[in-house]
Amino acid sequence: MERRHFLKSGALGGLATLGMPNGALAAEGAGDAAFVALLDAMFYERLDMSPMGATSTGFDKGERAGLKFKLDDRSKVGLDKSIAWHRSAVDRLNAINPANLSTIARRQRELAIYTQSRPLGTAHFGIESVQQPYPLSQRGGAYFDIPDFLDSRHTIATTEDAEAYLARLDAMAHAIDQDSEWQQALIGRGMIAPVWALDMTLKQMRALRAPAASDNGMVKSLVRRAAAKGIAGDWASRAAAIVTGKVYPALDRQIAFVEGLRAQSPAVDGNSRVLDGVAIYAAALAEATTTTFSPDEVHRIGLAQVAELTAQLDVVLRAAGLTQGSVGERLTELNRRPDQLYPNTDEGRAALIASLNVGVEGMRARLPLAFNDIPHDPLEIRRVPPEIQDGAPNGYYYRAPLDGSRPAIYWINLRDTGDWPKYGLPDLTYHEGIPGHHLQLSYVNHAGKLPLLLRNVFNSAYTEGWALYAEQLAGELGAFSGIEQAGYLQSLLFRATRLVVDTGMHAKRWSREKATAYMVATTGFPQGRSASEIDRYICMIGQACSYKIGHNMWVRLRERAKAELGPKFSLGWFHDVLKEGILPLAMLERRVDERIAEAKAKG
């Protein structure tokens, strides 16, 4: 998972309730209180090492208010410090005797060891992330991360917040230079993004650099939000001076550096292009899916599920009168129908987002059919900022911070409304919003016995698998009408296709062009959207496979529970497992089996 997506973290809507659930553990096991205290200490230690993480979780206040004036250390020294901390964390957790812990705390200790060990699997490769090996690409770098972070997660409510914004803007130049230094160190290992990715990177850097400083989005964000809060100050000229004197010169240096990288970039698109590329991809696949599946196994699973889902779509499309050509060709035809398209204008984009909000509210009314103790945390739907839309994902989600200073955000990339025909939009909302990411993470936010450290972890197979399962659940709750059923099946087909193309490129030396053509032909997605997806998988390896692998597990576990429990089974009971936190798939499977046994024992 890329660095900016690790920073999507947050939890409860208010801080006052955080201490109570943890204290409740102390009476259950002799060592529980010390264990919870250790996890809390680790949580705060990590915050102190990640100022941007502190802001994302809402902990940049009080004694940690100074963190709001800083950015994360993006250097090799910073990475080494992080790895050393994780080693220490694992050692401290292993030193706790599980025999002294309650059942709940033992499970939490196992999860904590797993989550804190994960970065150590990357350490011996000498890179920050096996899933995102390139420090600079169209998908990441300070130039990409920080403007978005300042606008969407650095809150401005006081003069001090505005001053902190200026301090971070000032520090951005150093962060840009750190990325270049880190990239320079990896050139000898071939860890340079492909030439086409560097060209997209340069386009985005130049777009950030192009406006007069006073018109730069980072300056305007501060000015707009300070004015909205009535915060007096010469924010426009002060921010513009920093952009002119520091940020733009740093961008100029990086643009020149990236231009020089083009001649040094290996020709192959897949991960075989880099030193240790085969091993890095295997590690990325294992990290993303939390399984031991080999690339060949994932490829075969993908091919089988593509065939199965294509057959299901054929039935739905024929019922809708679309009978000529392959399933992919018929979906392409459907994508182009005028009745399925919003105008590619600002007015069309506004209407599209309005329709998504209607879908969220419609789904809220259906949730009691399948969930207990439903949280009602607010959700905003926003357009991906145009200056980063060419490299950004098609859709993604940011959790709310702990202090409730901003709501959760579901982002949709609207560079071209033709990428989003109407029949597929409801499904996207059920994935990113409810009952997908927003509902699942809201349950984590309000989990009764989950220490802070374990509220703030990420596992793509669990979370993306759940979001894909949530699309299926939405259909089972009657949320799709007419041709929208094709949108849901197309989404599943798209995720199965990812298994094929990701392993195809990184393990079977498929070209970017071959992978894109396969996706267009299989899913019927427009060329531009498909190409954007393939470009993402090349620079963010393995993660695309987590969705369908995770979905397969959620479906299998539900069917197992239903078969084992018979009339005792209910969707609400099954979905209550969400309250136990984000688990690797093997641990999720074991926990569901335990809950099945507990339900049976009740007679």
Report d(CA 95, CA 467) in Å as an integer: 36
Predicted local confidence at residue 300, as pLDDT: 98
Residue 67, Ramachandran bin (φ over 0: left; ψ between -120 and 50: alpha; else beta): alpha
Report d(CA 31, CA 100) in Å as an integer: 5
Instruction: Single out the residue of 27, 20, 52 nearest to residue 152, CA to CA.
Output: 52
Q: Which amino acid is at 210?
A: A
Predicted local confidence at residue 28, as pLDDT: 62
Structure confidence by residue, pLDDT tens digits, 226-285: 999 999 999 999 999 999 999 999 999 999 999 999 999 998 898 888 889 999 999 999
Report d(CA 61, CA 10) in Å as an integer: 14
Report d(CA 73, CA 85) in Å as an integer: 14
Taking 50 as the pLDDT cut, the residues of the chain under it are 1-27
Report d(CA 310, CA 319) in Å as an integer: 14
**Domain residue spans in the chain?**
135-192+195-265
Report d(CA 17, CA 36) in Å as an integer: 15
Predicted local confidence at residue 457, as pLDDT: 85
Quote the tokens at residue 179: 């990325």
Predicted local confidence at residue 402, as pLDDT: 66
Report d(CA 382, CA 350) in Å as an integer: 10
Quote the tokens at residue 592: 């569901």
Q: Are 449 and 583 in contact (CB under 8 A)?
A: no
Q: Are 517 and 534 in contact (CB under 8 A)?
A: no
Q: At what angle do helices 585-601 and 103-123 cross, to 10 degrees?
A: 170
Place of tokens 């991360």: 145
